[in-house]
Amino acid sequence: MSWRTDDIPDLTGKRAVITGVTGGLGLHTAIGLARHGAELVVTARNADKAADAVERIQAAASGTKVNVLALDLADLTDVKRAANEVATTYDRVDILVNNAGVMATPKSETVDGFELQIGTNHLGHFAWTATLWPLLVSSSARVVTVSSFMHKSVSDIDLRSLTKEGSPRRYGRWKSYGESKLADLLFALELDRRAKAAGVPVVSVAAHPGYASTNLTKPAAGSKAMFLPGVAMHQVSKVLGQPAAHGAWPLLMAATDPELTGGEYVGPSGFSEMRGRPKLVGMTRTARNEDLATALWTASESATGTPFDV
């Protein structure tokens, strides 16, 4: 029998921290957890959008306690500031959903000089999780890392993109996005391996939403992406993509299914994993490459200046 949101257990007394809740997957993941009793700590870059998200969450799940934390994953100083704020404010984090991200952006850099997509989607969450690690361990937390079926579009990661010098290759927005999502999946699996080897009671699971219609496909006003292909893609996504609420199903299953013990990958069950009810899905041989995962971990520690000892 396929998984449904009714299968989410009672989360009363549990605290969930979710990055990126001003729309799309993050918002609907927050609503799904709140409807089952979870207390929420949600992050956002824009205070006005955050206030609107909180209003929508509380309208969908009356009485939910929601605290907002400012976080810019493209700024490592801010990432560590925000993570330390969580660690000093809260006594436990039961569920951490690393959801926020950017997709297929024009060539750009983070505050720290890294290519924007690998810097935001992977390095920001790596430093965030590493800084939160002592609290996650003491809480026996579950960590959900959001990847994408686009991890299948690449066969390797150019680790030079994790240096300030950057990769000398010609920039390709979709290739860089695919590599950032492969990095997310490699990170989730390596975190699981290290936690299990150390006997640490943290469960690391990955998930992807399929082809979901979210604001990630919407070009920002005035950006270089405001050209015909970018606008057309957003319109196609609105027609062919499943609703963001459905795209959140794999994230919710990954965050709450008690049968998951770590190392699983959850995605839609429909054709080509584009849409449908969530289930355990496969991944590429590259995503299972433990040598690449180890090299990525080491490069990420160096890039972020954040030791991550599990």
Catalytic residue chosen out of the listed positions 90, 171, 177, 211: 177
In the block, residue with structure tokens 């893609």: 233
Fill in the DSSP letter of residue 265. E
What's the distance, Cα to Cα, between the start and end of the chain in Å? Answer: 36
Look up 177 and say whether it is catalytic. Answer: yes
Distance CA 238, CA 168 (A): 35
In the block, residue with structure tokens 């994230």: 251
Amino acid type, 307: P
Distance CA 131, CA 135 (A): 9
Give the helix/strand (H/E) hosting 42. Answer: strand 39-44
Q: How many of the other CB atoms lie within 10 Å of CB of 121?
A: 28
Q: Which residues pair with 66 in a beta bridge?
A: 40
Q: Which of 132, 133, 110, 134 is nearest to 122 (CA)?
A: 110
Task: Determine contact, residues 71/44, Cβ cutoff 8 Å.
Answer: yes
Q: How many of the other CB atoms lie within 10 Å of CB of 189?
A: 25
- Per DSSP, the three-state class of 45 is coil
Positions marked active-site = 177
